[in-house]
Structure 1
Amino acid sequence: MVLIVISAFLIGTFIYIGNVSTEIFQSLVFGNEPVTGINQFILYSLSTVYTILQTTIIYLIFNKLLKRVSKNSKLLIAFIISLISISGAGLVTYLNTSSSNLLSFLSLILLSTGLLSIIFAILSFVFAKRKITGVNIITSIAVFAITIATCALFIILSVFSGLEKMNIQFFSNVNPDLKISPAKGKTIPNLDEMIQKLESNPQIVAYSKVIEEKVSIEYEDKQDIAYIKGIDENYTNVVRIDTTVVGGSYLDFSTPNQILTSDGVARRLQMYTDLRYGAKLSMPKPGTGLITNADEAFNSAVATSVGVVFINDQYDKYIFSPIELTQNLLQLPKNSAYSLEIKAKPNTSLNSLKKTLQSNLGNSVVVQTRQDLDATFIKVMNVENLIIYLIFTLVSTIASFNLAGAIIIIIIDKKKQIKSMWSFGMPKEHIKRIFFQTGLLITVSSILFGLVLGSIIGILQQQFGLVMANPFVAFPFEFTVSNFLVVILTVLAIGGGVSYLVSRKLPS
């Protein structure tokens, strides 16, 4: 258990050194420029070299320079070094009011020196003058391998659970509670009648008319294909899209010729907030016949970008506009919409409301809940989760080969004792059971150590964001009972199966 805690502390220290040194080297070498390609490789190489160099120096100090010092004295020296280093790091951080890179680097050196000194001193204390045999080494390797496999399986499942929860939350923030679409065609039939039925339903808080279609967008000398989503003034009562604006302002609906671009479209076109020069939007004209020029083939309009929204990858190719603009581009009447998006009252059963609306509105429309809209995404996430689980189950199976080796070595080491028990009349099945239980004990201990190590790393990730998904968001870590049970049952089944099969083979 002590080794598991030390390992978690050591891993956390390495991650901290790596992350902070990467930020400092990036600022020192590349400034505020974005780092990609070969520069990114150089940056990570510098961080890795620094981490290895500092770790090697601390190792040499405690295992070469202080080799003849007693373990108690070595531990005392480590605590003194750590106290001085960490205090110095705190003082440098306090004085570093101008965020100087050199002072930040000095603070990192002092703090990491203190942390690594404690770790290596404790390791020296734990392993000092301990009798080590071949059986101990093989058994320790088996415990370590299964512990790491268990820890890795638990971490990857927990991170994946966190990512799934975070993505579902992102989708929930931009998807309505319910959506009504036409069963055939694109426009909703009998729109006024549908709206009257929605207004009479006490479970519905708000609704919004929406038109969504592909559009060609040109700005200066750049062009992109995007999805334009025409919305009315009531849309923010259904989906709080206005809270995702990161630049400029939300649509004011004073004129139809304005758009709100997603971050992806804005980056590709280099078009952020521009009230002077508009972007040209084009859509193919409906109808048949020969086309003699571009004007006959497309409906076009010029719209100014009033703001930029940042939502998620699903909306990376979207622009938002007043519904009038999309109606004009598609040559639709003013009282028309492709869909109706609905906000239900809190604590309303969406499935129950879906059935009620489907019954009231008839078969000419299709009613979908938020879960129906996210069904494809959820299926993809489940498939990815299953594939990752199978991969790490294979890793755990490979790690269990060490357990098989450990049990075989124990059987060979105890060959004389086995013959003695046999000669005293102990049944062969009972002897086999002893080695099966030994393998099971190694497996259970490794599972506990792995779960403790994984939980410590998870807590550190939640509190300090040791590993970042992007410069602003850390990888989420979600503790769930199902993940604990899946890990325990999987590793226990693999370890138990290996222990049972190997314990069947006793020397004659």
Structure 2
Amino acid sequence: MNTPFYIAFRYIVSKKGSQAVSFITGLAATAMTIAVMAMFIVISIFSGLEELNKELISNIHADLTIKSKEGKLLKNPEEIISTLEKEPEIKAFSKIIEEKVYLNYNENGEIAYLKGVDSVYTQINPIQKSIIYGEYPSFQYQNEVIVEGLLNNRLGIPIGGDDDNTTATIFIPKAGEGLINKEEDIFNKEPIFVTGIFAENEQLNNYIIAPIELTQRLLNLPKNSAYQIAIKLNNPEQADAVKRTLLKNLADDSIYINTQMEENEAFWKMINTEKLIIY
């Protein structure tokens, strides 16, 4: 082979090979960069959603929650309240009764959850900040409620009315046995007036927030009764220590106390599982 031709041929082949290697290297580097950026975006989004959910749960759920071990009703609410009032680490506490109900308006009905709360509840859960139309009940009238937005949209209940045309009705089945001759033998019912609607929320879907006196009447419960007591602490990081103190001071085997993390155990398990998968 002609020597100059051979040298030229080898130069061209070598140059093309070098270009191919450079192209493949660049392509691999680009792919790696895109993959790292995608992973970074996924992790950032997950972290953002995690913080959002933590904030949401922190607002909705109390630092500590007292519940009954047997049945729904707390057996000694007055004694519990007396103990809570003496604990300096407690900022506020609220009695709560929650039950599944049937909400009816203008011959349309939905299964909903009625959460009866006292006037201190907004110090535990600032639900009033989530109201998108209307206003939070004044607690001057026991039949004023706020309703989750999507639930209210499905039923079309007017906001802020105070006449028969704007009245919805809540039904709760009666406990016990006996002959059933009419509707009153099956259900307790109460009229309600919707003063406002709050933004839809995964934690409060299909919820009605009402004065606790309304739920007590519907369930024929005593005035001071409660299913649970939600507690807000001055320092949420002291939840475990305050829990131990309360359990010691109450010395009541009929109750248990959950921290916010214990009350939302399923949520935290889900978060930890997702972290394990991603990382």
**Partner letter of residue 321 of structure 1?**
A
The aligned residue for residue 249 of structure 2 is 360
Q: How does 1:322-471 map to 2 (within 5 A)?
A: 322-346=211-235, 349-361=238-250, 362-387=252-277, 389=278
Give, in whole Å, the separation in 2 of the partners of 1:221 and 1:137.
Answer: 71
**Per-residue deviation at 1:347?**
5.8
State the SS of the aligned residue for 2:167.
strand
**Partner letter of residue 242 of structure 1?**
Q
1:442-485: CA deviations, max 9, x gaps? xxxxxxxxxxxxxxxxxxxxxxxxxxxxxxxxxxxxxxxxxxxx
Which ranges of structure 2 fall in alignment gaps of 5 or more residues? 1-16
**Partner letter of residue 93 of structure 2?**
Y
**Per-residue deviation at 1:234?**
1.6
**Partner letter of residue 254 of structure 2?**
S
Work out which of the residue numbers 201, 210, 215 in structure 1 matches 2:101: 215
Structure with the greater alpha carbon radius of gyration: 1
Give, in whole Å, the separation in 1 of the partners of 2:134 and 2:191.
Answer: 18
State the SS of the aligned residue for 1:133.
helix
1:35-92: CA deviations, max 9, x gaps? xxxxxxxxxxxxxxxxxxxxxxxxxxxxxxxxxxxxxxxxxxxxxxxxxxxxxxxxxx
Structure with higher helix content: 1
Structure 2 residue 65 is the aligned partner of structure 1 residue 176: no
Q: How does 1:83-162 map to 2 (within 5 A)?
A: 133-162=19-48
**Per-residue deviation at 1:343?**
1.2
Structure 2 residue 49 is the aligned partner of structure 1 residue 163: yes
Structure 2 residue 190 is the aligned partner of structure 1 residue 304: no
Give, in whole Å, the separation in 1 of the partners of 2:276 and 2:90.
Answer: 37
Structure with higher strand content: 2
Give, in whole Å, the separation in 2 of the partners of 1:239 and 1:311.
Answer: 15
The aligned residue for residue 209 of structure 2 is 320
**Partner letter of residue 294 of structure 1?**
E
> Contact 1:170–1:312 (CA<8 Å) still a contact in 2?
no
TM-score, normalised relative to structure 1: 0.49
Root mean square deviation of aligned Cα: 1.9
**Per-residue deviation at 1:258?**
1.5
Distance 1:224 1:233, change over 3 A: same
State the SS of the aligned residue for 1:342.
strand
Which ranges of structure 1 fall in alignment gaps of 5 or more residues? 1-130, 390-485, 487-508
Give, in whole Å, the separation in 2 of the partners of 1:298 and 1:331.
Answer: 12
> Contact 1:173–1:240 (CA<8 Å) still a contact in 2?
yes
The aligned residue for residue 14 of structure 2 is none
1:358-400: CA deviations, max 9, x gaps? 222222111111111222112122323434x2xxxxxxxxxxx
> Contact 1:236–1:242 (CA<8 Å) still a contact in 2?
yes
Work out which of the residue numbers 112, 115, 136 in structure 2 matches 1:226: 112
Q: How does 1:228-243 map to 2 (within 5 A)?
A: 228-243=114-129
State the SS of the aligned residue for 1:349.
helix
> Contact 1:170–1:311 (CA<8 Å) still a contact in 2?
no
Give, in whole Å, the separation in 1 of the partners of 2:113 and 2:97.
Answer: 10
Structure 2 residue 86 is the aligned partner of structure 1 residue 200: yes
Work out which of the residue numbers 129, 145, 159 in structure 2 matches 1:273: 159
State the SS of the aligned residue for 2:24.
helix
State the SS of the aligned residue for 1:180.
strand
Give, in whole Å, the separation in 2 of the partners of 1:239 and 1:177.
Answer: 10
**Partner letter of residue 255 of structure 2?**
V
1:9-56: CA deviations, max 9, x gaps? xxxxxxxxxxxxxxxxxxxxxxxxxxxxxxxxxxxxxxxxxxxxxxxx
**Per-residue deviation at 1:215?**
0.7
Give, in whole Å, the separation in 1 of the partners of 2:201 and 2:32.
Answer: 38
The aligned residue for residue 13 of structure 2 is none
Distance 1:364 1:296, change over 3 A: same
**Per-residue deviation at 1:272?**
4.9
The aligned residue for residue 409 of structure 1 is none
Give, in whole Å, the separation in 2 of the partners of 1:273 and 1:132.
Answer: 75
Give, in whole Å, the separation in 2 of the partners of 1:188 and 1:255.
Answer: 25
